[in-house]
Amino acid sequence: MNDTKLVSFDFWNTLAKSNPEYAKERNRYIASELCLRVETVKQEYQKVKNESDKIVEENEECLSNPDIYKKFLETVRRSDYSWIKLRHSIEKLFEEYPPYILPETINVLHKLQKGTKMAITSTNIIVISTDTSYNIPGDWSAEQITATYSA
């Protein structure tokens, strides 16, 4: 008999993998929009990401989405640029190049569905909370699962 009642997964790099084209297009867009070199965008973006991750790990708190965009713009000396415009454009790119879930991950989720509740979380928010009454189609992307099962 299985005594497992709940299985919790981290979303990024456990269940979902980033679409490699997304980062390329995001960096190209930011470089073009802010008149920067792509390499500069990559380096500064990584610095802000690492700093944000470190804050989460050390303090168990997260920078807000606006704070991350503002920090990036400050880092590249473009605080004058609208973080809202940047976020909106990057979100469009994310929709165009969504993350993906590997077929073997979908298979595991289907097996766990029988009698086990699942919680799928991200660094700072609960992305999905499901119970066994939900069916996760095998060909769904992370975006479709999130849209259907987000709280």
Show pLDDT as tens, one digit a residue, over the chain (151 residues).
456 667 777 777 777 888 889 999 999 999 999 999 999 999 999 999 888 888 877 877 777 778 888 999 999 999 999 999 999 999 899 889 888 887 778 777 777 777 677 777 665 443 333 333 334 444 555 555 555 544 3
Which pLDDT does position 124 carry in this prediction?
A: 42
Is the pTM higher than 0.75? The answer reads no
CB 134 within 8 A of CB 116: no
Q: Which amino acid is at 113?
A: Q
Handedness of CA 114, 19, 148, 7 (dihedral sign): positive
106: helix, coil or strand? helix
The strand pair at 117-121 and 6-10 is best described as parallel
Which pLDDT does position 77 carry in this prediction?
A: 95
The secondary structure element, H or E, covering residue 51 is: helix 38-59
Which pLDDT does position 125 carry in this prediction?
A: 41
Closest CA to 100 of 29, 11, 26, 28: 11
